[in-house]
Amino acid sequence: MAIHEECGVFGIISPNSYKIAETVYYGLYALQHRGQESCGIVVNDDGVFSSHKDVGLVSEVFDSLSLSSLSEGTIAIGHVRYSTTGTATRNNCQPIQVNHQKGKMAIAHNGNLSNAFDLRNELELTGAIFHTTSDTETIAYLVTKERLTAPSIEDALNRAMYRFEGAYSLVLMSATKLIAARDPHGFRPLCYGRMQDGSIVVASESCALHAVGAQFVRDLEPGEILVFDREGSASIRDHCGAKPKKSCIFEYIYFARPDSVIDGVCVHRSRKIAGRILAKTLPVEADVVIGVPDSGLDAAIGYSEESGIPYEIGLMKNKYIGRTFISPDQSRIDQVKIKLSPIECVLKGKRVVLIDDSIVRGTTSRRIVKLLREAGAKEIHMRISSPPFLHPCYYGTDIDSEENLIANRHSVEEIAEIIGVDSLAYLPIESLSELVCSDAYCSSCFDGIYPTAIPTDTRKDKFSRKLSEKKT
């Protein structure tokens, strides 16, 4: 089992019509780390929507021909996906488009509704017909249902949000508006910026704003709905403060790019702090500190600075291979062989501190340790910049089964023996607040304390299974 993050969203509204899909393309490229399964773009040309989406990386799905096939426009949204609900098919690619009685809508979603299964059951019993196995379609259906009586699309979204539980950072496009919304807990990040020509850009991470030349303005507050149109902008705050803020701590440990800033916290700095904490609380005598590319590198630098042990690049990453964490349904062992190569002159005869962000089932860690041993490492002391994974996550991280988590079945000493290291230690769970200078975070995958009710059906393929059961 691997752990995955669901997706990244991007949206733009411009005062001028142009080949706006190209801007979205570069924004999605910057968010590729958030999902490598599928992607898509929908462009709005004065109320006429054109789209292109498919399974694959951004560079695989879009080329000059497919981008040129999308019309010029003033509004567009895009999405990169890894499925935490729904299978990896073209039908589940986002953004999702809806034609309803009062117009058109396209929507892209990052996160996971913890009550999606119950909501979908309820809707199907009233005659709703679903075309995908993604919980994003449930969101779209409830918004369009509310739109039948609501005075505007933003009011419809505002009403629908009272029904949603769990994680959702959304970009939504109507014929005239770009709308962004973040769930009341603020599980997943969402921010916006401004370009020199007056265009407004919304993205899952600030790194995507920088990629298209937008100046960061601010993060959306948990529960906030931001509406942008030709008249300006408006903030709807009916859901703000309704629930305690619980941003996902693993965004800082692994998911986000290190050059992003989320809710005022620099991701790179947060990871360095984790490394420093490991060095202070879990020291070891060694000759060199190395990190597992990419998300272990920042913590390794922090460990080195705090401990005084020299930092070196000990593993070379093939940058043309996607992240093992995000690539589903493939052999992780085979990918590690291709993806990482040890630098023998750094490792041979050395006592090595190996820093990584997490251990899931131990397969990849064991293979990496074997690579280091083959390169001549004398000792390997592994330090993990997160606490042990012990519990499922229901908010957009693909941890849906406790029995697949090695730390749930084995002690730290047993895991060390399984993966072949001389010593192993994890970040103390009580240190997590130091990473974000706050206690307003969700760490349910580590401590089992959930901000929402636990879902009635936790299977990733619950909607697909439901359809199969109906056919039998």
**Which residues are designated catalytic?**
7
Residue 314: what are its φ and ψ, rounded to 5°?
Answer: -105, -20
In the block, tokens 């849906």 appear at 400
| Helix or strand run (H / E) with residue 158 | helix 153-160
Sign of the torsion formed by the C-alpha atoms of 454, 456, 459 and 463: negative
Strand ranges (E), 174-208: 178-182, 191-194, 200-203
Find all residues with CB under 8 Å of 319, minimum gap 6, and list them.
none
Find all residues with CB under 8 Å of 268, minimum gap 6, and list them.
258, 259, 298
Closest CA to 298 of 279, 281, 275, 266: 275
Under 8 Å between Cβ of 255 and 222: no
Residue 337: burial class (beta carbons within 10 Å; 0-12, 13-18, 19+): exposed
Cβ atoms within 10 A of the Cβ of 213, count? 14
